[in-house]
Amino acid sequence: MRALTTLPLFRKSMLGLAMAGALGAAGQTQAGEVEVLHWWTSGGEAKAVGTLRDLLEAEGHEWKDFAVAGGAGDSAMTVLKSRAMSGNPPAAAQIKGPEIQEWGELGLLGNLDSVAEEGNWEELLPGVVSDMMRHDGHYVAVPVNVHRVNWLWANPEVLEDAGVEMPTTWDELFAAGEALREAGYVPLAHGGQPWQDATTFESVVLSLGGSDFYRQAFVELDEQALQSDTMIEALTTFKRLRELMDEGMPGRDWNLATSMVIEGEAAMQIMGDWAKGEFTTADMQAGEDYLCAAVPGTDEAFTFNTDSFAMFQLDDDEAREAQKTLARLILEPEFQQTFNQIKGSIPARPDLDMSEFDRCAKRSMQDFQAARDADTLVPSMAHRMAMRSDVQGAFFDIITNYFNSSDMTAEAAAQRLVKAAELAM
Ligand code: GAL
């Protein structure tokens, strides 16, 4: 949450508001209504979140949609912060990873322990997921899914037309890129936005450094790792990927980049499996009309990104009831199955039948389990899972500036990452 870079100031104002008894957000919320802040506005995302609205409404409650466009939620988090500052947060908001703790520390989140107990969340959820949903030992958020970030998507017709196979190494990817260019295609669809740059970069780091190195760099913020030869190599490879992208990339939304692959204008995209939501919405079949593979060199690892809804404290009993109903529905099999098939993710609870899911999702579930066993499951830096929001914001700036700069060296970028990490200490 880049908007919380000024966290101490923000915290002070929030505490002031709380003391003034201004936490009456719910006072303005009508009985049985849940206002839900999210950033799911692309075709696949909107369809997926619609399933939750339908289920809530079927229980007799009202869904008040608070959608803030912008991939990966930077804009949504800015809007959430200002709503919270004015003492009027929504009942539920898409908040993820360590940011759940940041909001929990502000004392604004409600307690979901009773719903969790009734629904047996403790048993159902992998520890890596449930740990993030608790603040101070209490459930304050509910997980929706598990997205895998380190995916490479491709249009098989385009690959075939250029006479190339799905690449499994960076050398193969760059060689395929040349053939694709000659055949008149954009090799790699990309949107030049900081979070998309970071999404690509973290996969390169995982590929070249492996999961232990990835954790040292992005979770432990280890200075040696951040300025190591491996990091320099990752920065250099990341920058080289520009060769495969097109001039139209600055500012492009991720789903428009996915559309380029769907339309056969571009061959591939590095993106988390929410891209699958776009392929599915375009009626394309996994393994036939589009291909999924792990980003080169990351087959054994899994960069996870869990979407979740944190619930804000409410005064009104009926609104609280509606909020709890929403939390309960989110982990029930019906929602987990339908939502995740549309969204491209896998269920947050691993006990569900996956037979109706497509082959990329089945593979994701298998790889998730395998990565847990092999300890190669890593949290996504680009998707708010790995580090505090202020450090993440600084990393995003450095990665994007480096990617777009004509004179910043990889060494200089690495030094800046070290400086940003020092902020966190
Ligand atoms: C991610 C989020 C996904 C997807 C994506 C693009 O951070 O976890 O659910 O929505 O952003 O907006």
pLDDT mean values, one per 10 residues, the chain (425 residues): 44 48 41 93 98 97 98 96 95 97 97 98 97 98 98 98 98 98 98 98 98 98 98 98 98 98 99 98 98 98 98 95 97 98 98 97 98 98 96 97 98 98 86
pLDDT at 11: 56
Alpha-helical runs (H) found in 109-240: 113-118, 121-124, 127-133, 156-162, 170-182, 194-218, 223-226, 229-240
Nearest CA to ligand 1 atom 12: 71
In the reported structure, the alpha carbon of residue 147 is separated from the centroid of ligand 1 by a whole-number distance in angstroms of 8
In the reported structure, the alpha carbon of residue 102 is separated from the centroid of ligand 1 by a whole-number distance in angstroms of 20
pLDDT at 14: 56
What ranges do the domains of the chain cover?
7-147+306-365, 148-303+377-424
In the reported structure, the alpha carbon of residue 407 is separated from the centroid of ligand 1 by a whole-number distance in angstroms of 31
User: Does 73 contact ligand 1 (Cβ within 6 A)?
Assistant: yes
pLDDT at 423: 82
pLDDT at 31: 54
> What CATH code is assigned to 7-147+306-365?
3.40.190.10
What does the pLDDT look like over 211-230, one tens digit per residue? 999 999 999 999 999 999 99
> What CATH code is assigned to 148-303+377-424?
3.40.190.10
User: Does 87 contact ligand 1 (Cβ within 6 A)?
Assistant: no
Ligand 1 pocket test, pick from 274, 345, 364 with the greatest ligand atom count within 8 Å of Cβ, gives: 274
pLDDT at 13: 55
Fold match between domain 7-147+306-365 and domain 148-303+377-424: yes
pLDDT at 24: 40
Q: What is the DSSP code (8-state) at residue 72?
A: G
128: its two tokens: 């890596």
Q: How far is the C-alpha of 24 from the C-alpha of 21, rounded, in Å?
A: 7
Atom of ligand 1 nearest to the CA of 145: 9
In the reported structure, the alpha carbon of residue 71 is separated from the centroid of ligand 1 by a whole-number distance in angstroms of 6
Atom of ligand 1 nearest to the CA of 71: 12
pLDDT at 97: 96
Alpha-carbon radius of gyration of the chain: 21
pLDDT at 424: 81
